[in-house]
Amino acid sequence: MKIYPTITTLVDYKEKIEEINALKLEKVCVFLTGLNFEERKELFKELEKTTIKEIPFVHIRNDVKTEELDFLINRYKTKVFNLHSKEEHPSLYDYSKYKDSIYIENVYNVFSAEDLLNWAGICLDFSHLENDRLMCKERYKKNLKIIKNSRIGCCHISAIKDTYYIDRSGEKRYDNHSSSELSEFDYLKKYDKKFFSEFCAIELNNSISYQLEVIDYIKKLFNEK
């Protein structure tokens, strides 16, 4: 079970970079979801100053240019990427060259088997799936069937809270990208270990140090070293 800490970009990422250098980490994942092109260029400059040697898994967004993918593959040996479905965020560029490395995430209610066509498979977001199990049994059954019949190439791991919030569409949600208790990851035990790919990223806005605690906690849940 390989689980990596992640530089998330929906919040200021500079403290995470400082932590990475202090801890001398060489492998992390990066989620580009909060950055436009100019902001991504700045992030890439900052990454060059770090101890990072490999970025195995990157969450891209629909406006990421193909040159950026080439840079990540060549400079940081990136193996897999994930995107949201075209129904949610239609891609602005032709990614067919990378179709064997790009996986589509199961996001909320905008997800179907057709979304995976012409891509490598699915990026399994465990917290989205668990939220469906808690809030929408039919959607959960449908998505679980798709997942079981698809290649799982990468995974997101976020928290499941005890209390819900209301999202922009008016839905109640328990999945969250911030965590305050390690027990918020106990839900993962409901899922077979075979669902965990070799590229699992902690999707939390929390510090890198806390993410490393989460990784150790999850491994203990599954009796992993």
pLDDT tens sequence for the chain (225 residues): 899 999 999 999 999 999 999 999 999 999 999 999 999 999 999 999 999 999 999 999 999 999 999 999 999 999 999 999 887 778 889 999 999 999 999 987 667 888 899 999 999 999 999 999 999 999 999 999 999 999 999 999 999 999 999 988 888 999 999 999 999 999 999 999 999 999 999 999 999 999 999 999 999 999 986
| Sole residue written with tokens 């890439």 | 44
On whether the CB atoms of residues 176 and 147 are closer than 8 A, the answer is: no
- β pairing state of 172-176 and 159-166: antiparallel
Pick the CATH number of 3-221 from 1.10.530, 2.60.40, 3.20.20, 3.30.70: 3.20.20
On whether the CB atoms of residues 202 and 3 are closer than 8 A, the answer is: yes
On whether the CB atoms of residues 143 and 123 are closer than 8 A, the answer is: no
Q: What are phi and psi of 214, to 5 degrees?
A: -60, -45
Q: Which two tokens stand for residue 102?
A: 């790009």
Q: What is the pLDDT of residue 110?
A: 63
Q: What is the pLDDT of residue 90?
A: 81
What is the Cα–Cα distance from 186 to 206, expressed in whole angstroms? 18
> End-to-end CA distance of the chain, in Å?
9
DSSP string, the chain: --EE-EE--SS--HHHHHHHHHHT--B-EEE-TT--HHHHHHHHHHHHTSS--B--EEE--TT--HHHHHHHHHHH---EEEE--TTTS--SS--GGGTTTEEEE--TT---GGGGTTSSEEEEEHHHHHHHHHH-HHHHHHHHHHHHTS-EEEEEE-EEEEEEEE-TTS-EEEEES--S-GGGGGGGGGS-GGG--S-EEE--SS-HHHHHHHHHHHHHHTT--
C-alpha 203 chain-centroid distance: 5
Q: What is the pLDDT of residue 109?
A: 67
Other C-beta atoms lying within 10 Å of the C-beta of residue 149: 10
Q: What is the pLDDT of residue 88?
A: 77
Q: Which residues have a Cβ under 8 Å from the Cβ of 31 and sit 6 or more positions away?
A: 6, 7, 8, 9, 10, 58, 59, 201, 203
Residue type at 76 in one-letter notation: Y
